[in-house]
Structure 1
């Protein structure tokens, strides 16, 4: 009898331990989050803010572990969306540029000189076009939650000031892996060269490429002026919103309450990062100028010359992006 009671107690203890272990596993869960840039940049700070809010509001039941520098896709940022879609990555704070090869609708934001200012960007993301883009992403088994901001991309080079399309003639410009960027710079007479940012920095240093385009935050934090980029043109030729998103299977596996926390935290982190990025813009520009960079700001007439020079790019890409989407975005911009 004693042996029987002992075995029964042991079985009960083991069962209790199994239940406790299962309970703890259900309560605590870690999701991987991919970003291209670290928390030295606003982009990485957005992901960290999201993680901070989620852990706080779930009391540690759900944690987001941020992996910067595209390390979950071996440095190839254009594979991020595919990796999230397949489940290799649980979530991401990603760029519309980097995801556009898999989601053509995201090329809307890369149409040259389509979005003239921040108010236009906000009108598109908050309007019908923004909803259509989120629907397009969700149709590919990724759940979009909120918008962030990488900002308008500006042009720098080592040769001289650029204030008209002719100034770009023959310049080798490093661009990201997007056919739309190739078409845009070809239309301007430049020689676009596709390469990762890791490869771009030594190429700029040696003069293998003459220039590059990035938001002011990246130019400032990465000290791009230190690799020969002493001429900067503020031309707002395209904007790169960020998107907070989660793999569909991961999303479906979460309890409704945790989904809501994940979404609300993403929206809050996104707005926090948008506000911060915009507030810091003037200070970053001043810091860049203090380091001796020659800054060119386009007049309305000069800006219009670039618009006209890239009109053919719009004609080519409108059907690829979707005429209804482009029209919805245009209406939002005009009504802003």
Structure 2
């Protein structure tokens, strides 16, 4: 028998055909890629989006979440390209991971550019955020909403890091972005690029001395169990998340479904941002209770890191776009 799927319908089977009565819309299912599972806020954002879409479409639209970068064989830096090519329908992706294909996203990776959460909000919610969304859409992907992976902190197995000189010679795992290579090289470290799937084994064996990630990742993944006994709170960059859809998939949807998906993404993103920020102090307390030694930079120490990474700006601002960087800076100063 030939099968046809209908939603919110009464169905009658006649011979080899499935006739749908009171047809309002055809049910559709889409893939959603994420790097982390729902043990982390990132993955929880994807599940929240899927649940809201399921509820608001009354089952007509299903978002099936594929965590751990499984749709790109664990290579998180391929996610944007795969979505642009139509191999992935939708994704909630990191600005870091998508920056090789969208250079404007490197704005968020400029070291010590955004001092606090209000600065992040000023960028994502202002003119600079609109410019970034335009840059993404020009590359065949439709951005819908912002989420947040949080400020990234530095951990290592060798000792406290309170000044740039403490990083000299340390092997630090970084993501596959050249800007990260330049930042840690400027600080005297030995940056080692690898995927998140390879990072924890490398920390376990001592192939790398340290890593940088938000507190949520450090906490949930129990990075302290692989020798990361020293943690420096330096807020050197923030990693917003972006809810997005392949352009051809988006164009295939009626306007009412586009509106439903966008609003559900906005709501899921706002929910996830609030949750991520609210849990920061609780996560830090839990990490300290497990014996991790925490260094929180004072103003003078922070400024030393800022000055040590100025060469990164000289190289990367022209690649990101001077207009975008200036617009973002204006938004931060005006917040």
Same fold (TM over 0.5): yes
Poorly superposed stretches of 4+, deviation over 2 Å? 12-15, 17-24
Q: Cα distance, 1:22 vs. partner?
A: 12
Q: Which has the larger radius of gyration?
A: 1
Q: With the length of structure 1 as denominator, give the TM-score of the two structures.
A: 0.94
Q: How many Å separate the matches in 1 of 2:239 and 2:73?
A: 22
Alignment correspondent of 2:188? 189
- Per-residue deviation, 1:168: 0.3
Corresponding residue for residue 235 of structure 1: 234
Question: Quick one: distance in 1 between partners of 2:21 and 2:215?
Answer: 49
Where do 1:309-324 residues align within 5 Å?
309-324=308-323
Equivalent residue runs for 1:1-336 within 5 Å: 13=14, 17=17, 20=20, 26-336=25-335
Match of 2:7 in 1: none
Distance 1:90 1:289 in 2: 40
Q: Which secondary structure state, in structure 2, belongs to the residue aligned with residue 20 of structure 1?
A: strand
The offset of 1:21, in angstroms, is 9.8
Cα distance in 2, alignment partners of residues 215 and 118 from structure 1: 13
- 2: CA distance, partners of 1:124 / 1:174: 27
Query: Counterparts of 2:96 and 2:23 in 1: how far apart (Å)?
Result: 41
Q: CA deviation at 1:199?
A: 1.4
Alpha-carbon deviations, 1:255-302, whole Å to 9, x = none? 111110100000000000000000000000000000000000000110
| Deviations, residues 21-69 of structure 1 (Å, cap 9, x unaligned) | 9959x52100000000000000000000000000000000001000000
Q: Alignment length, in residue pairs?
A: 323
Q: Could you tell me how far apart the structure 1 residues matched to 2:328 and 2:57 are? A: 36
| Alignment TM-score, normalising by the size of structure 2 | 0.94
**Secondary structure, aligned partner of 1:315:** helix
Partner deviation per Cα, 1:88-124 (whole Å, 9 max, x = no partner): 0000000000000000000000000001100000000
Which residue of 2 is the match for residue 5 of structure 1?
none
Secondary structure of the 1:173 match is strand
Secondary structure (helix, strand or coil) at the match of 1:274 reads helix
Q: CA deviation at 1:206?
A: 1.5
The whole-number CA distance in structure 2 between the counterparts of 1:144 and 1:230 is: 38
Partners of 2:199 and 2:36 in 1: CA distance: 15
Separation in 1 of the partners of 2:203 and 2:308?
26
Q: Name the structure with the higher helix share.
A: 1
What whole-Å deviation, never above 9, does each CA across 1:204-235 have from its counterpart, x for those lacking one?
Answer: 11111100000000000000000000000000
